[in-house]
Structure 1
């Protein structure tokens, strides 16, 4: 049985380097891993407890929760916006954290990777994503990291899947996350 990993991308721009990094993850995933990217984070409304009641949860949030519940693990791909996590990714974590103690992230292995223009590759945002996911109940794989600096230059004409250093490190994150998901079962 394949390990299912759901990928959430913190950038909504179709050609973003982080979107392309997620595409690379899908392409290099080993046979025993079903890795898919959730499309639609931009349609999920901001979390609001007033609309988070059975029968009133927006359809987009229901789809996100169902996709996360069906996954064995999650891979969060985060750019860095003004030194922190993008709102769309934080919003997804907020929706997945509820109901408190029983949200779709509860007990699930989660790894965070990403790329950014700066010299540190978005580590601040990735640290914030790990922190938020952990508080939301996820089993964050702190040791499974990949921060790629200089994205604008590095990926100007090169897709991440064509960068051997990136694919090697990304493959290690995917394998490690799949192993954690298998061990958690």
Structure 2
């Protein structure tokens, strides 16, 4: 057994270290507006099951009291092919900035997310000046499958969510043989898949409320404080 007798941190800048303590945790922000949830889906088909599942999720969130907005990916150019001032790009980024939480839903295509869905994420930068369109937002991930149940897409969505610095909730939805789970009007039939969808949206709603007003505390990083301090010194 080795005992540490020296607690100094020679490589760290002491004044920039911020020991996490309960007294620094701000109280929950007041419930002065409904949770704002942005929903994205990954298909342009006329009968799109990822869109149907997304709309069903929005109905559940609305029932809980959330304010929801759904982005239509039709007409969004390929990332990098047009200036950032394109109306669809501006719309998507403004919706991401507006949101407190998000729901991502994609079909599984060749074991991964679709190009339609990934293109939306590729248009959302980690930073827009001093603003961060995704950092600190809650996230729920869902997928629809044409065949047997799979989790490849939700796993990829979790990876993307981590990269975008989002808080992805533990629960998730994967709907197998989605063509059997919706009626002609696009409404989801009663089933264990629907029950799971309700569970996921309920959990997202709860996490969004729990993190309200506290994301700045949770996303405050030593490395970024150190980088900012170095920039400030250079400006002097």
**Whole-Å separation in 1 of the counterparts to 2:60 and 2:81:** 38
Q: Distance in 2 between matches of 1:165 and 1:33?
A: 23
Shift of 1:3: 1.0
Task: Report the counterpart of residue 46 of structure 1 in structure 2.
Answer: 78
- RMSD (CA atoms): 2.3
Q: Which of 122, 127, 140 is the matching residue for 1:111? A: 140
Residue 80 of structure 2 corresponds to residue 10 of structure 1: no
Q: In the alignment, is the contact (CA less than 8 A) between 2:79 and 2:123 conserved in 1?
A: yes
With over 3 angstroms needed to count, the CA separation of the structure-2 counterparts of 1:11 and 1:49, relative to structure 1, is closer
1:99-125 Cα shifts (integer Å, max 9, x gaps) = 27943111111111121112124x212
TM-score by length of 1: 0.85
Q: Deviations over 1:3-39 (max 9, x none)?
A: 1111101111131111111121122332421233212
Aligned residues between the structures: 178
Q: What residue number does 1:36 align with? A: 69
**Residues 156 and 182 of structure 1: CA distance in aligned 2, closer, same or farther (over 3 Å):** closer
Q: 2:149 aligns with which of 116, 120, 126?
A: 120
- Identify, as 1 or 2, the structure richer in strand: 1
Aligned residue number for residue 135 of structure 1: 163
**Structure with the greater alpha carbon radius of gyration:** 2
The structure-2 alpha-carbon separation of the partners of 1:135 and 1:165, relative to structure 1 and needing over 3 Å to count, comes to: same
